Amino acid sequence: MTLSTIRNKPKKKWIAPILTLGAVLFWIGIWWLAAEQIDKAWVLPTPAQVFKALFSTITVKKALPILLSSLWGIFKGYLWGGGLGLLLAALTARIYPLHLLFSPLLTVVKATPIASFILILWVFFTNSAVPAYAVMLIVLPIIWANTEAGFGNTDEKLSEMARAYDLSLIKRIWYLYIPSAYPFFKSAAVTALGMAWKAGIAAEVFCTPDGTVGKMIAHAKRDIETAELFAWTILVVAVCFLFEKLLAALLSLPERKGRVKK
Amino acid sequence: MIEIKDLKKSYGERTVIDGLSLRIEKGEKVALMAPSGCGKTTLLRLISGLERAEGGQIDSEASVCFLFQEPRLFPQFTVLQNVKAVLTGKDKQKKALAALKEVGLEGEEGKYPHELSGGMAQRAVLARALVTGRQIFLLDEPFKGLDEQAKRELFALCRKALAQKTVLLVTHDEEEARAVCQRLLRFGKGMTLEEDLAL
């Protein structure tokens, strides 16, 4: 059972969405007031100006193919980073010298600012390839560290039982290691997705590869089209939120079937 | 048959088993009783190969099956999947279902370990052990924590299902020993044999 530490949390479930909507409207109101006060659209546009720009971005500027192009680059990097992170976690959890070998490298990768990454990668790769590599380097250590911790969380008693029954490595992976690592992998995968979006779009803003959201954001900033800048940002946040929810729901499927720990 | 000669095991400075020799005949059911911390479980772990002895020899004619104090079922898998996990080759489903039927868990195959009572979980464990076809069963206080009714049902089940097997039962309870075994060995410190009783 999880106990909430938040006071005055509503007991009726239907109240929560209404309160959330109220909170969103409150902050939009604050934004509106601030924009009216400043009265300079190039500094802070009003919500109405931003939503108008958002509509025009979607309809006139054909946001969908641009979003898909960015999504593809981020997706490639995410898959490579996730895959390599999983593989490394499986190896380093089992072979301690490998853990010792990779730990410093991944600690450095984790601590390096994303901007430095992007600029270093840009030395070696073309501007269209940098976002995917940047995403990969952001995702890899998150997946690696968490999944390795999950493998390390394997129940000793079950592990001993598996030994007593001479279970093969494949069976041990299926019955023992995957279920114990899965909750760690799941939370890491969702966290890494948010980070992947941030890193991917940041890399696009730096490198401005053609037909990407990052390039549109960079150009909106260059042309002092602040409303458009906000519109693209809202689109990115919305897509990121949608994909995070989608991934979380997808990764929760095995839990609902009881296959892995909740 | 299990033959143990001059077995020695210590953990650091502490000697747990000091030169134990023992012979268990094929099909014999032997209860091992000793005060806590004397090395009963260690002896089972040595016989099963989960731990290595510092000296002595253990010879067994057949492969052994260890039933731990706790059920140790894979919590994310159903009872049927848990039983199938220890099987290899063909007809896994058929063999697992037959074993579950034998222990009275027919119709419970789809349940997860957390949905089982203590007695049912131990039955599932017994099914998992039986399905391996191993001949020597090492039982480490499998009745601990069960209520009287569940215990009695499990006693009856063990007598029936393990009739042809060689059994070593670690217990603190003489009633359990009498219910399942024909021979009782009492040990003292260092697993020195103090009493060898026919039950």
* Residues 132-151 in B contacting A (C-alpha not used; CB under 8 Å): 132
List CB contacts (< 8 A) between A158 and chain B: 72, 74
Domain count, chain A: 1
Which residue pairs, CB below 8 angstroms and at least 24 apart, start in A94-102?
A94/A151, A99/A148, A102/A144
A260 contacts B74? CB cut-off 8 A: no
Q: Which of B21, B13, B95 is nearest to B55 (CA)?
A: B21
Separation CA A240–CA A230 (nearest Å): 15
A167 contacts B85? CB cut-off 8 A: yes
Residue A122 included in any domain: yes
Residue A117 included in any domain: yes
What pLDDT, on a 0 to 100 scale, did the predictor assign at position B189?
Answer: 82
Residue A15 included in any domain: no
- Measure B66 CA to nearest chain A CA, in Å: 7
Name the residue range of residue A202's domain.
47-256
For B72, the closest of A158, A168, A179 (CB atoms) is: A158
pLDDT tens track for A45-91? 999 999 999 998 888 878 889 999 999 999 999 999 999 999 999 99
Secondary-structure breakdown of chain A: helix, strand, coil percentages, each rounded to the nearest 5: 80, 0, 20
pTM: 0.79
pLDDT tens track for B51-63? 998 888 898 888 8
With a cut of 70, list the residues of chain A below it in pLDDT.
1-8, 10, 256-262
Classify domain B2-165+184-198 by CATH architecture. Answer: 3-Layer(aba) Sandwich (3.40)
What pLDDT, on a 0 to 100 scale, did the predictor assign at position B146?
Answer: 84
Q: Is B50 on the interface with A (CB under 8 A)?
A: yes
List CB contacts (< 8 A) between A261 and chain B: 75-76
First to last CA, chain A: 12
Separation CA B117–CA B137 (nearest Å): 23
Question: Hunting for tokens 């190896």 — which residue is that?
Answer: A91
Identity of the amino acid at A93:
A
List CB contacts (< 8 A) between B78 and chain A: 258
Provide the mean pLDDT of chain B.
Answer: 88
Residue A115 included in any domain: yes
What pLDDT, on a 0 to 100 scale, did the predictor assign at position A148?
Answer: 94
B85 contacts A171? CB cut-off 8 A: yes
- State yes or no: pLDDT of B76 exceeds 70: yes
CATH code of residue A64: 1.10.3720.10
A165 contacts B76? CB cut-off 8 A: no
B76 contacts A260? CB cut-off 8 A: yes
First to last CA, chain B: 19
List CB contacts (< 8 A) between A168 and chain B: 88
Separation CA A24–CA A226 (nearest Å): 21
Q: Which of B53, B16, B20 is nearest to B35 (CA)?
A: B16
Complex ipTM: 0.88
Substitution target from B46, B67, B72, B138 for chain A, most A beta carbons within 10 A: B72
Question: Hunting for tokens 């001059």 — which residue is that?
Answer: B6
Identity of the amino acid at B119:
G
List CB contacts (< 8 A) between A176 and chain B: 74
- Residue B173 pLDDT class (50, 70, 90 cuts): confident
